[in-house]
Structure 1
Amino acid sequence: MNKIQIDIVSDIACPWCAIGFARLEQAMARLAPEYEFSVQWHAFELNPGHTGQGEPILPALAKKYGRSESEMRENQSRMMAIATDLGLNFEKLQVRLTCNTFDAHRLVKWAAEQGRQTAMKQALFEAYFGKAMDVSDHAVLLSCVAALGLDEAAAKQVLDSNQYSALVREEEATYQQAGVTSVPAFIINNKYLISGAQEPDTLVQALQEIGAESP
């Protein structure tokens, strides 16, 4: 069986990252008889300088991209429809607030050591996009830990310390230096880059072509 390594550079605050992974899951399921996949998540912050209280997402996005709030609402509505078709909970996408995701990335690193990295990432996506919860709030992060049945006390120790901070910063710098400027970015077998939330058919074709080149 051919083995394919997929490194995903993403942010918890990126709706297309949740959509992109759901599409990737569909592609991997279709290729499962032929290929064995391993997935690792890597940190990227869309808004690394965010501090203080969060802003309502629609005016914040309008200001960031120089568009109107109505355009942003339409864009978010399209994402909500796509997410629903994929079985994702994006119910609160338009009413969430901006927030810092650094500690959430640290928690994903901790969850990786518990063998639950992807599950943690998905729990954070649902908390933010489905429930409009503040994923910079340690109580919210610990609720995600509890939902996965992981050790809340151990997770709290991580969040109350600087553990994994250097690793997250190092990853962010590594992928920025490698030219990753937007997410999601899927790096296949440490060699090929697939940018954006591609459709499952596109991913299947790309993974088959890459797999055929592997020794």
Structure 2
Amino acid sequence: MKDLTVDVYMDTSCPWCRMGTTSLLAAVEQLPPDAKATIRWHAFQINPGIRPEGEDYSRVMIGKLGGAAQFEARKKQYNQYGENYGLTYHMERVKYTPNTVLSHQLIAIAPEQLQAPLIQRIYAAYFEEGLDIGDADVLAAIGGEVLSTDASELKVRLTQGEGMDKVEAGQRDAEQLGIRGVPYYVINGKVSLSGLQPPDELMRWLVQSA
């Protein structure tokens, strides 16, 4: 079985992307021992117009969904779907819709082998702990924990714009591919899958694409 490359377009404030990340990693674990899958993570902002300091989560979501009742229903949906992937969502703790550029920068500057655990930690910080993942101090602390790096040094690197070239490249690629929603997967540069996919479905496409 030949090696696989999976390009994943995702956002750190996207509940479905968190499930999609877990699903993909589970699918990769099921690959035959002789198969190697390289996952490349690309930035996509689901709320690109959010101010750098973030905005009120309830207000943003009520505006998107058309009302408070729809918003409450959607939060329950996240909880229910998340359970299918072994994930916990505490949406009542989420107060901010963050600008996710800094979080994507942090992922971009992380060593490749630590990007997946870093992404999972950022998701947990936001969806379980309600932390503001648009805040440089919060992200530097997360990065310091996962990457075993000095948090103050990471904050400087983020605020100076390190990794921004990769973030912008990911967003340009997403635009060229016509991506309108995430998660979005491209397997070996030829098979494109949009939206949340269960592990078995992803596994099927991975094997077919090898």
Question: TM over 0.5, yes or no?
Answer: yes
2:37 matched residue in structure 1: 37
3-state SS, counterpart of residue 148 of structure 1: helix
The answer to whether the Cα contact below 8 Å between 1:73 and 1:94 also exists between their aligned partners in 2 is: no
1:116 matched residue in structure 2: 114
3-state SS, counterpart of residue 97 of structure 2: coil
Distance 1:54 1:108 in 2: 19
Q: 1:112 to 1:99 in 2, by over 3 A?
A: same
1:170 matched residue in structure 2: 169
Greater Cα offset, 173-182 or 75-84:
75-84
Segments of 4+ moved more than 6 angstroms: none
Q: 1:106 to 1:23 in 2, by over 3 A?
A: same
Unaligned runs of 5+ in 1: none
Q: 1:147 to 1:81 in 2, by over 3 A?
A: farther
2:183 matched residue in structure 1: 184
The answer to whether the Cα contact below 8 Å between 2:94 and 2:131 also exists between their aligned partners in 1 is: no
Distance 2:77 2:175 in 1: 29
Q: 1:116 to 1:31 in 2, by over 3 A?
A: same
3-state SS, counterpart of residue 7 of structure 2: strand
Distance 2:29 2:182 in 1: 22
Number of residues of Structure 1 aligned to a counterpart in Structure 2: 209
Q: 1:158 to 1:89 in 2, by over 3 A?
A: farther
Greater Cα offset, 124-133 or 28-37:
28-37
**Cα RMSD, aligned residues only:** 1.9
TM-score by length of 1: 0.88
Q: Give the residue type in structure 1 aligned to 2:87.
A: L
The answer to whether the Cα contact below 8 Å between 2:56 and 2:96 also exists between their aligned partners in 1 is: yes
3-state SS, counterpart of residue 182 of structure 1: coil
Unaligned runs of 5+ in 2: none
Distance 2:79 2:99 in 1: 22
Shift of 1:93: 5.8
1:18 matched residue in structure 2: 18
What is the percent sequence identity of the aligned residues? Answer: 28
2:130 matched residue in structure 1: 132
1:156 matched residue in structure 2: 155
1:59 matched residue in structure 2: 59
Greater Cα offset, 101-110 or 160-169:
160-169
The answer to whether the Cα contact below 8 Å between 1:106 and 1:168 also exists between their aligned partners in 2 is: yes
